Amino acid sequence: MPDERVAAAVASLYAAHRLLDPSAERVEIPFEGAPLVGNLRRPPGASRPPLVLLIPGLDSTKEEFFHWEAVFLSRGMATFSLDGPGQGESGYTTCIRHDYEVAVTAALDTLAGRGGFDPSRVGAAGVSLGGYYAPRAAAYHPMRLPPDIEVGLDAAATFRLVDPVFPFGVYAAVVEIDRTTGQVHVLRLVAVDDAGTIVNPLLAEQVIYDAEGQLLTVTFADYPMLRAHQVVDVTTEFLETPSPFNPLGIRHVEMPLVPEKMWHLVRGA
């Protein structure tokens, strides 16, 4: 059974609900002899909103999701934060398990009987281990999959690149040199890359590898952070000319020899 601290945490959340969202409901779900527990919240003024199932991770709980729930509620979606098997309040009577879709099915069946949301529009989002549970729950729920989608997460495919792909890029740097001391100040750096279709700009802008393919931007111990007086005006732009040689139209991002070019500029000044 939950100890006094857990009971106090749960009671505190429901006390907050009574003040901040009186419509919030505690829902207990029959599950293999021991109930699972979740919190159901609905957006104001919506009779049949879509529902988002919020799934914790290995050591997170439904009580942590109050502000995350507000993100969906403000967009007209109902939320159900679930302490599944081995999680939070439910973890005192159940064990964690890989087949989380069993718990999701039990939860949705229970919620469908209560009404107040559109059961044909249900999504799932998870944090940490819940990020695995969420797609698994969708993939193994045949009644809620499109008719042309097979149940499960298994997939196999083969792709062969018919020709190599090459990126294109231009980098320009503006530097200022103190002729008395020889100190170099980088005033501005402009980087323009054409890497084909940009699937994730953050990966293109912030990930650097060495010649052997090892990631260099792992920690600030390996990739030092600039000090305040060293920060320059950096402008990055991407052109997107899709490659015809792969389904995504992507290329890789080439890293020009910017330091070497700066050195030549300095020597020629």
Residue with structure tokens 């009971």? 7
Strand 168-177 versus strand 25-29 pairing type: unpaired
Q: Are 23 and 92 in contact (CB under 8 A)?
A: no
DSSP 8-class letter at 250: B
Nearest CA to 116 out of 14, 56, 27 is that of 27
Which residues lie closer than 8 Å to 83 by C-beta, 6 or more apart? 36, 37, 38, 56, 61, 62, 89, 90, 91
Choosing from 23, 81, 128, 243, the catalytic residue is 128
Question: Is residue 12 flagged as an active site residue?
Answer: no
Which residues lie closer than 8 Å to 239 by C-beta, 6 or more apart? 168, 192, 193, 194
Buried b (16+ CB within 10 A) or exposed e, 196-214: bebeeeeebeeeeeeeeee
CB atoms inside a 10 Å sphere around CB 83: 26
Q: Of all helices (H) and strands (E), which one includes residue 168?
A: strand 168-177
Distance, in Å, from the CA atom of 61 to the CA atom of 90, rounded to the nearest integer, reads 9
Q: Which residues are catalytic?
A: 128
